[in-house]
Amino acid sequence: MEKRYEERGDHAFMAVMIGLVVVLGVTVSSLPVAFVGVLGFVAGYAFNNWLVFEELYKSESDGEVNA
């Protein structure tokens, strides 16, 4: 089983921010709700992957200077 490095707080923060972006995107713009929802999902997926790979990269470097 692969170890996950992100914490629950990271996911809670991500969920709240995506919710705010979707609500503001729907109310401020004339974009369709489905389009804004898809953008929010893609942003959340990218943010989650960034959290995971950032921690994996840190753990692999073990204190080495990264250029």
Is residue 2 a part of any domain in this protein? Answer: no
Tokens of 44: 């959340």
Is residue 3 a part of any domain in this protein? Answer: no
Is residue 64 a part of any domain in this protein? Answer: no
pTM for this predicted structure: 0.41
For residues 25 and 1, give the distance between their C-alpha atoms in angstroms, rounded to a whole number.
38
Could you report the per-residue pLDDT of 11-46, keeping only the tens digit for each? 777 777 777 777 777 777 776 777 777 777 888 788
For residues 42 and 37, give the distance between their C-alpha atoms in angstroms, rounded to a whole number.
9
Is residue 1 a part of any domain in this protein? Answer: no
Number of domains observed in the structure of the chain: 1
Could you report the per-residue pLDDT of 41-60, keeping only the tens digit for each? 888 788 777 777 776 666 66
Is residue 52 a part of any domain in this protein? Answer: yes
